[in-house]
A = this chain, B = another copy of it.
Amino acid sequence: MAVRPVDATAPGADLLSYDGLRAQLRGVGEERYHHQHPFHLMMHEGRLSRGQLQAWALNRYYYQSVIPIKDAIILSRGPDPAFRRAWRKRVIDHDGDGTAHNEGGIKRWLKLAEATGLDAEQVGAGSGILPATRFAVNEYLNIVRSRSLLEAVASSLTELFSRDLISLRMEKLRQHYPWLSGGLAYFEARLTQAPEDANFAINYVCENAKTRAEQELAIQALRDKCDILWAQLDALYFAYVQPGWPPPGAFLIEGS
């Protein structure tokens, strides 16, 4: 479904119904979410090398490591205890509680990176990540700091689309890269976490976008978040697939 641009200031630009707003948000995902990115298509077709998967795991670690910071910023802007109780779950999901029972998403991602053959300590230090990864991820922090709380919450709504992508990815990683199978706990956990989180966030957005202009701001925030995910894969593709030019100082695939 294509998203039709709407001039929210035009006369007759009426408030969308909850269903109408949900349809618009889903339309953004169909058009811009990174499930369609060529880097992911290559991954799912088994056409990425181990080195390319390492570059992906290394760079995506930076994104993972920033997510609980992003959520803590939103938490700090939460208007009431009920909102903050719901949102703090995300920080716990990613940071864990320091026990083996809940090691948290960051630790789980490190295990995935280790399964690709990288050293967890080096990944954690972040050396060699692409500057473009850092810039895209930092923009996510800019958005949740500088825009309205409504937009900050709406920017998380890529989680509406992540369950399907993660299900497919787990199947394809197991099929094409069986040596990675021991490192998939991150995705396993997200299969239930992401839909819970998305459910809270979309209800919040529907209830708190009280004008058409606010609804459009929420839709734009989701579009911008999709761009943040997409740009990370563009940068990986450019550096490690085609033309295959990592910028000065970036991770080099062994033997390349």
User: How far apart are the CA atoms of A61 and B224 in the complex, in Å?
Assistant: 20
Within 8 A of B (CB), among A140-196: 142
Residues of B with C-beta under 8 A to A136: 131-132, 135
Residues of B with C-beta under 8 A to A139: 134-135, 138-139
Total interface residues in chain A, CB < 8 Å? 30
Residues of B with C-beta under 8 A to A74: none
Q: Is the CB of B135 within 8 A of A132?
A: yes
Chain A interface (Cβ < 8 Å from any Cβ of B): 31-32, 38, 130-132, 134-136, 138-139, 142, 223-224, 226-228, 230-231, 234-235, 237-239, 242-243, 245, 247-249
What would be 18 A-B contacts, judged by CB atoms less than 8 Å apart?
A: A31-B248, A32-B248, A38-B243, A130-B231, A131-B227, A132-B235, A139-B139, A142-B142, A226-B248, A227-B247, A227-B248, A227-B249, A230-B247, A234-B245, A235-B235, A235-B238, A237-B238, A238-B238
